[in-house]
Amino acid sequence: MTKLQAKRQLERQFANAGIHRYFFDERGLRKYAPSAVKQQILASFGGNVPQNMATGLLPTVKVFYHNSPAYLRLNQHNGQRYHGEWQLQLENGDTLVGKVKNNVLNFPRDLPLGYHQLSLKCGQIQADSSIIVAPRQCYQLPQIQNKQKLWGSCVQLYTLKSETNWGIGDFGDLQQFLAKFQQNGGDFVGLNPIHSLFPANPEGASPYSPSSRNWLNIIYIDVASLPEFRQSAAAQHWFQSAEVQQQLADLRQRDWIDYSAVMALKLQGLQLAFAEFEQQAASERQRQFQQFVQQGGESLQVQATFDALHADLSRRSENQWGWDCWAAEYQDYHSAAVSEFQHSHVEQVRFYAWLQWCAAEQIEACYQFCRQQQMPIGLYRDLAVGVTPNGAETWWNKSLFCLTASVGAPPDILGPQGQNWGLAPMNPHVLQQQAYRPFIEMIRANMQSCGALRIDHIMCLLRLWWVKCGDSAKNGAYIGYPVDDLIAILALESQRQQCMIIGEDLGTVPKAIVSKLKNAGIFSYKIFYFEFDQQGQSRALAEYPYQAMTTLSTHDLPTVNGYWRGHDFELGQQYQVYPDPKILARLQQDRVNAKQKILQRLQQAQLEIPPGVDASLSSDCPLEFNHALQRYVAAVNSALFGLQPEDWLGMTEPVNIPGTSTQYPNWRRRLNRTLDDIFADPAVLALLQTVSHARKMV
C-alpha cells in the first residue's frame, strides 16, 4: 500500500468514526485537528467503529417524524433483490404487517408516536429493528404558547441555609424556598444537577461530575422529616443527643460545606430510619417502596449495588474512589464477584435503593407543591453533559463509553488552554447499536418531578470535543453525534412528560445546530453580560428572542457583584487560570468595554447610576445598583427570566471557578443568610415584587 493509499484509508477511518476534520473557533477561523491527534481519538473507540454503515438488511434503529412518509430501504448487497414479509409490533400492542416491495418497507404515514419493534423475514434471513416515531417539537406550556413572560430563581440547592438542615441545602429547604418564593410571584425554581454522586466519596462534590444521571444525590434527603426517622425511638434519642445537636449547630453555621461530615451524619440518621422502616413489614410505605424497586428495575439495582459495594470497600481500604480503583473482580457489574456481593449484602443494597426512594419521594413532593400552587413550570432540573469514568453509569454499560477519552472544550479566549472536564463520552456508534435506549432512559429519568429540563452544553447532541485521557485539552477533536435522532427522541419524551427543554448553548455554537434547536421548540440560554447587537451595543431587551431563558449569571460565572468589581479576575490570577498576561489584559479591557455599553443602556432607560459605579474594574457595586440592574433586565423579551439568590444578597464569591479543581473550594460556598432571613428582608422582597410586576407587564 502506498503512502497516499494509507493516508486515504486512515481518513476514511476517521470519517467512519465521526471525527470532524475541522471546526470554526470563536473568531470564525477554521481549525484542523492534526492527524496524530485524530489517531489517538480513533484508538479510544476500541474498535467500536463500523467499517461499513450498512452491515445488515435493516438499521438497528430508525427514527421517523409523526405524520410523515415512513419507509425503510433495505441495505442491498451486490444488488440483490429481497422478497419477504415484515411485522411491526406497536408500543400499544397492535401489530402491522406488510410485504417487501422493490427492497423497500412502506409503513403507514400515521404510525403512532412511540417505540415500536420491527421484524423482517426474507427467506432464511431474519432481521430486527427499533422504530421510533417522534413529534417535530418539544412540549411548550399553554402560557408559553400564549406568549406570557415567566420568571424564577436559579438555585444551587446545596447552598441554601436554614435553621433545620444538616449543613447543606436539602429537599426540605427546597420546599420552604418554593413556598416563600411563590408567594412573591415566582413561576419556577431551577436547580443544579441533582444526579447521584459518590456517598462513599463525599468530597467528590461537583454536580456536573456524577456517578450516574439516572438516579438522585442522596445527600439532599431531608432526614428529619422522614416518617421512619420521626417514628424511631432510637433515631430520636440519637438526634436529640447533645453531641449530635452540637455537630448540627456547627455544620449549620459554616460558610463552606463540609461534605464528609454532612454525609457521615446523614448516613447515621438514615441507617436508624431504615431500621425502623424494615420493622414495618406490612405497611403501605413498604408496598410503595416495593413498587419503586420494581419500576426501577436493573438500573436501580446497579446504582444501589454500586453505592453499597463502594461503601463496603471504602471501609476496608483507602483510596477506593471509583470502580477503577477497586479489586479487579469488582470492576464490572456483570462479574461473579459482584453477584456474590449482592447476595451476601442484601440489606446494604436494599438500604441504598431505599435512599433513592426517599430522595425521589421528597423531590416529587416539592413538585407536587408547585402544581398545587399552580406555578406554571414549578421546578426545572439540569442534566449534566456527561458522567465520571469510574461511576455507576459506566460500571454497568462499559461498552457504551470510551473510557480512554475525556470530554471538554477546545481553546478559546476565556480558556486558552482548553477545558478537560474529566467526563467519559458515549460512543455514538454503540449508542445507535443499543437503539438509543441509554439516552431515552436518561432523558426520561431527568424529566421526573419537573416542568422543564435544562440540558447542559446542548451542543453535545451534535458534537463533543474529545481528548485522550491525560492529554492537554488542546490536543482534541470534535466527534459527531446523530443530532436529528437525538432531538427527535428529546421531543418525544418532552411531549410525553409535558416537560419543556432549555438548551445551554453558550460559547461557540455551530450554525448546524441553531436552527435545529429553534425548530424543535428548544429554548436558548442567554446571559445578559454576553449579549451585544451587531453594532456592538448591549442588546436592547426588546430584541432578545422570545424562545429563550435569560439570566444575569450562572454557576460558572461571577455573581453580579463579582462581575462588576472584576473579582473573578482577581481569583483567576490567584489560582493561575490566566497564565498569559496578554490574554488577561484583553479580557479585562473587554470587561470595561462591556460595562460601558451596559451603563449606556441603563442611562437610556433613565436609571440613576449611584456615585462610585462606573465601567472600571475598581468600580463599586452597591446593593441598590445590583438590584436596579436585575430589575432592568426583568423587562427582557425572553419567555423565561431567572435570578440567583446570591445576587439578591449582593454576594461576591462564586460557587465555582472553571479551570480549577482543588485550588478553589468549588461547589462548597453557601448563601450568607438563612431562608427565613432572605425572605424577611424588605430589600429582597421589594426586588422580587418589582420583578414579578415587570414580567407581567412586558
Could you report the per-residue pLDDT of 279-331, keeping only the tens digit for each? 998 899 999 999 999 999 999 999 999 999 999 999 999 999 999 999 999 99
- pLDDT at residue 52 tops 80: no
- Tell me: the pLDDT tens digits for 651-666? 999 999 988 888 899 9
pTM above 0.85, yes or no: yes
Within 253-304, strands assigned E span none
The angle subtended at Cα 306 by Cα 251 and Cα 316, nearest 5°, is 70
The answer to whether residues 227 and 331 belong to one domain is yes
On whether residue 301 sits in a domain, the answer given is yes
The answer to whether residues 169 and 93 belong to one domain is no
pLDDT at 72: 94
The answer to whether residues 168 and 316 belong to one domain is yes
On whether residue 258 sits in a domain, the answer given is yes
On whether residue 564 sits in a domain, the answer given is no
- How would you classify the pairing of strands 500-503 and 452-455? parallel
Of 321, 341, 376, the residue at which a domain comes to its end is 376
The answer to whether residues 228 and 130 belong to one domain is no
Q: For the chain, what percent of residues have pLDDT higher than 70? A: 99
Closest CA to 199 of 311, 106, 93: 311
On whether residue 36 sits in a domain, the answer given is no
Do residues 237 and 412 make contact, with C-beta atoms less than 8 angstroms apart?
Answer: no
Of 341, 376, 411, the residue at which a domain comes to its end is 376
CATH assignment of the domain containing 79: 2.60.40
| Residues whose CB is less than 8 angstroms from the CB of residue 578 and which lie 6 or more positions away in sequence, other chains included | 416, 569, 572, 584, 587
Do residues 673 and 252 make contact, with C-beta atoms less than 8 angstroms apart?
Answer: no
pLDDT at 55: 62
Q: Quick one: average pLDDT of 488-512?
A: 94
On whether residue 475 sits in a domain, the answer given is no
Cell of 516: 435545529
Three-class secondary structure of residue 279 per DSSP: coil
Within 29-142, strands assigned E span 30-32, 61-65, 70-73, 85-89, 95-99, 104-107, 114-122, 125-134
On whether residue 354 sits in a domain, the answer given is yes
Q: Quick one: average pLDDT of 354-376?
A: 98
The answer to whether residues 123 and 222 belong to one domain is no
- pLDDT at residue 698 tops 70: no
The angle subtended at Cα 77 by Cα 427 and Cα 69, nearest 5°, is 70
Closest CA to 114 of 491, 500, 431, 517: 491
The answer to whether residues 173 and 82 belong to one domain is no
**Of 118-127, 150-159, 404-413, 573-582, which one has max mean pLDDT?**
150-159
Q: For the chain, what percent of residues have pLDDT higher than 90? A: 88
The answer to whether residues 297 and 241 belong to one domain is yes
The tally of domains found in the chain comes to 2
The answer to whether residues 225 and 292 belong to one domain is yes
The answer to whether residues 110 and 218 belong to one domain is no
The answer to whether residues 171 and 107 belong to one domain is no
Closest CA to 114 of 95, 132, 96: 132
Q: How confident is the model at residue 24 (pLDDT cuts 50, 70, 90)?
A: confident
Q: How confident is the model at residue 386 (pLDDT cuts 50, 70, 90)?
A: very high
Number of H helices, E strands in the chain: 23, 23
Among 300-314, 525-539, 573-587, the minimum mean pLDDT is found in 573-587
Print the domain residue range for 99: 67-134
- pLDDT at residue 526 tops 70: yes
Return d(Cα 172, Cα 182) in angstroms, integer. Answer: 15
Closest CA to 502 of 451, 547, 453: 453
pLDDT at 54: 53
The answer to whether residues 126 and 230 belong to one domain is no
On whether residue 596 sits in a domain, the answer given is no
Return d(Cα 379, Cα 361) in angstroms, integer. Answer: 15
CB atoms within 10 A of CB 95: 11
Per the prediction, the chain carries an average pLDDT of 95
The answer to whether residues 265 and 347 belong to one domain is yes
Of 347, 376, 405, the residue at which a domain comes to its end is 376
- pLDDT at residue 414 tops 90: no
Q: How confident is the model at residue 67 (pLDDT cuts 50, 70, 90)?
A: very high
> What element of type H or E holds 641?
strand 640-643
On whether residue 662 sits in a domain, the answer given is no
Residue 236 DSSP label: H
Q: How confident is the model at residue 51 (pLDDT cuts 50, 70, 90)?
A: low
- pLDDT at residue 79 tops 90: no
Q: Which residue has the cell 461557540?
A: 508
- Tell me: the pLDDT tens digits for 169-210? 999 999 999 999 999 999 999 999 999 999 999 999 999 999
Cell of 434: 443499543
